[in-house]
Amino acid sequence: MNEDTQTTAQPSGGEPVTTTPAVDPNSEAHPRNFGSDNWAGAHPEVIAAIAEANVGHTPGYGGDPWTARFHEVMKGHFGPEAQAFPVFNGTGANVLALQSALPRWAAVITAESAHINYDETGAPEKVGGLKIIGAPTPDGKLTPEIIEGAVLGRGNEHNAQPLAVSISESTEWGTSYTPAEIAQIADFAHDQGMIVHVDGSRLGNAAAYLDTELGSLTTATGVDIISLGGTKNGLLGAEAIVVLNPQIGQGMRFLRKMNLQLASKMRFLSAQLNALYDGDLWRTSANHANAMAQRLAESLAEVEAAGRIPGLSVVQKVESNVVFVRMPAEVAARARQRFAFADWPMERGIVRLMCAFDTTDEDVAALVAAIAGSTSSFGRP
């Protein structure tokens, strides 16, 4: 092994097996990598918003003006009935959202690749007391037909009862549901007596890709409750739950405390969320990350077309900020001398390349050159 690399042998935070170039925290060079959009720092506007909130004394636990403003911002995106609750992290948001909306005997139907099924260490089941049913999909997207095939044991006391559908937008495979596709799922789910939850850790990336609004993907399509992301789009660490259906989530205030997701100094979470969503920063950052992923995919297609790397190919549509690539092991090993990225556990021989709000054209060009094993201009603007 190259002495300048470190190997992570276990998945961590949704990031499967990676080999990571070592970073000296005292060095002036802090390289960008493609391991995850979680690896990026916080956007400068977010840091500034935190600093601006760091003044004087203000009531804790959400009684502050930043949180009051956040509630209004969320109503602007999702409608006047939307109720918003800042929380610390995405797994907590998913568990709390589902737990608040469902009884203990409920089952949640989701894609097999979904974060709540694969990447949360069983938290929805162990903490939330809910059964997760993962359905196989070719691209991470559920359909009414797939959901119908997963609805089993209804009315049988020996089975957890299917009472919710959870979709990821965008999906763990980087694909994005259109508003029409979500509406079809919601119509089917509601006809079956189920609610619809959206794991929106990258909802902004999907909305940016589809050139639509956050509410057009959720409120307008019949979604009941959202886990709204922030950290993957440039926040230091803040997410939110947004309840759209006023008939659910009644115990949220109490469950948030019970589930260790109630921030005493909530103004600092709300200030971050306001920096992202009270304006166009969410869209600007998501558009940039998406554009870098598209450029990366196009550049790798050039390498493939040139016959430079036999067996190299992009394997999913690029509809957000991630590129999935079938990559020979020796090529991946060579590229990892300079860049970190994840092996995808859902299918052997595929790697995941994530772009972030701060990924640059130069980053993309350097990664493509490392993959191609040359100093050519593949991927340069």
Q: Does residue 70 sit in the same domain as residue 152?
A: yes
Residue 98 CA: distances (Å) to CA of 91, 92, 299: 11, 10, 40
The answer on 219 and 95 residing in a single domain is: yes
User: Is the Cα dihedral 177, 178, 182, 187 positive or negative?
Assistant: negative
Residue entry with tokens 């999935």: 324
Same domain, 99 and 59: yes
At 157, give phi and psi (nearest 5°). Answer: -65, -10
What are 11-66's pLDDT values in tens digits?
A: 333 445 544 554 444 444 557 899 999 999 999 999 999 999 999 999 999 999 99
Q: Quick check: helix, strand or coil at residue 106?
A: strand
Domain coverage including residue 158: 44-279
Question: Distance between CA atoms of 211 and 89, rounded to whole angstroms?
Answer: 26
Same domain for 78 and 24: no
How much is the pLDDT for 374? 66
Tally of domains in the chain? 2
Residue environment code for 49-85, b if the CB has 16+ CB neighbours within 10 A, otherwise e: bbeebeeeeeeeebebebbebbbebbbebbeeebbbb
Residues 103 and 214 in one domain: yes
Read off the pLDDT of residues 198-212 as tens digits, 9 standing for 90 and up: 999 999 999 999 999
Residues 222 and 79 in one domain: yes
Mean pLDDT, range 268-295, rounded to an integer: 98
Select from 279, 296, 323 the last residue of a domain.
279
Residue 86 parent element (H or E): strand 83-87
Residues 50 and 178 in one domain: yes
For residue 308, the model assigns a pLDDT of: 82
Q: Which two tokens stand for residue 68?
A: 């009051």
Domain end: 279, 301, 316, which one?
279
Q: Are residues 198 and 345 in the same domain?
A: no
Residues 220 and 189 in one domain: yes
Let me know whether 114 and 225 are in one domain.
yes
Buried b (16+ CB within 10 A) or exposed e, 141-165: bbebebbeebbeeeeeeeebbbbbb
Pairing assessment for the beta strands 195-200 and 225-228 based on DSSP bridges:
parallel
Domain containing 302 — which CATH number?
3.90.1150.10
Of the candidates 371, 353, 378, the one whose C-alpha atom is nearest the C-alpha of residue 310 is 371
Q: Are residues 170 and 300 in the same domain?
A: no
Span 114-132, average pLDDT: 96
